[in-house]
């Protein structure tokens, strides 16, 4: 098994994306990228800890490659918004691909470069950074899209996440 960490706005939505991919063994929501040890949701939401809401994806590389995870990530974010994602703004919602080793860094950089060269976006503001400690979020955030399906659906509609993804990517987003 291998691991990958992605931040793409609200971690509930990113968890949903990766949970649906065959070959992904587990997705855990949490916080990474900051300096505070053991941060809580309440602390991260202030935007002062340096952490971003993120997902830790455990996957079987024999069934799904890292490039496929990158593709799912790009097609479920707005790469042109470096200040947050959709209705969630602030440093805790910044889009970041965290790499665990040089191979992931090279693949992430290549995928970002390909997106930049496509000229689909004026600027690709998603950052690529080395992974740091991943802090698991509180239990009530885990699998939120399943355990609070109605509230999650209303969140996605209210944030216009799906409408925006469709406008950005057409029908190609998962």
In tens, the pLDDT along 25-67 reads 999 999 999 999 999 999 999 999 999 999 999 999 999 999 9
| Residue recorded with tokens 């509180």 | 138
The CA distance from 75 to 143, in Å, is 21
Local structure of 145: helix, strand or coil: helix
Contact yes or no for 111/6 (Cβ under 8 A):
no
- Indicate the angle between helix axes 11-19 and 149-159, nearest 10 degrees: 110
Q: Say what the pLDDT of residue 61 is.
A: 98
Q: What is the pLDDT of residue 170?
A: 87
CATH code, 129: 3.30.1060.10
Sheet with strand 135-136: strands edge to edge: 127-130, 96-99, 2-7, 52-59, 24-32, 135-136
Q: Structurally, how many domains does the chain consist of?
A: 1
Strand partners, 30: 54, 136
Averaged pLDDT, 162-166: 92
State the average pLDDT over residues 107-126.
97
- Which of 23-37, 106-120, 123-137, 159-173 has the weakest average pLDDT? 159-173
Catalytic residue among 4, 7, 10, 64: 10
Do residues 94 and 83 lie in contact, with contact meaning Cβ atoms separated by under 8 Å? yes
Residue 81 domain boundaries: 2-172
DSSP codes, 155-168: HHHHHTHHHHHHHH
- Cβ atoms of 18 and 57 closer than 8 Å: yes
- 10 is known as an active-site residue: yes
Question: Model pTM greater than 0.85?
Answer: yes
Closest CA to 130 of 172, 102, 169: 102
Residue 174: which pLDDT band, with cuts at 50, 70 and 90?
very low
Q: How far apart are CA 60 and CA 51, in angstroms?
A: 27
**Contact present, 77 and 9 (Cβ < 8 Å):** yes
Whole-angstrom Cα distance, residue 55 to residue 124? 21
């Amino acid at each position: 098994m291998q691991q990958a960490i992605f931040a793409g706005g609200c971690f509930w939505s990113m968890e949903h994306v990766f949970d649906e991919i065959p070959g992904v063994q587990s997705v855990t929501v949490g916080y990474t990228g900051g300096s505070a040890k053991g941060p809580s949701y309440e602390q991260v939401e202030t935007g002062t800890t340096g952490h971003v809401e993120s997902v830790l994806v455990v996957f079987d590389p024999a069934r799904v490659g890292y490039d496929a995870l990158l593709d799912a990530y790009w097609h479920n974010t707005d790469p042109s918004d470096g200040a947050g994602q959709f209705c969630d703004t602030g440093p805790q919602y910044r889009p970041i691909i965290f790499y665990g080793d040089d191979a992931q860094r090279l693949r992430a950089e290549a995928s970002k470069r390909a997106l930049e060269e496509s000229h689909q976006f004026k600027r690709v503001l998603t950052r690529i950074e080395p992974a740091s400690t991943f802090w698991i979020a509180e239990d009530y955030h885990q699998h939120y899209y399943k355990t609070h399906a109605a509230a999650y659906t209303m969140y996605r509609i209210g944030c216009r996440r799906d409408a925006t993804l469709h406008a950005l990517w057409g029908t190609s987003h998962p």
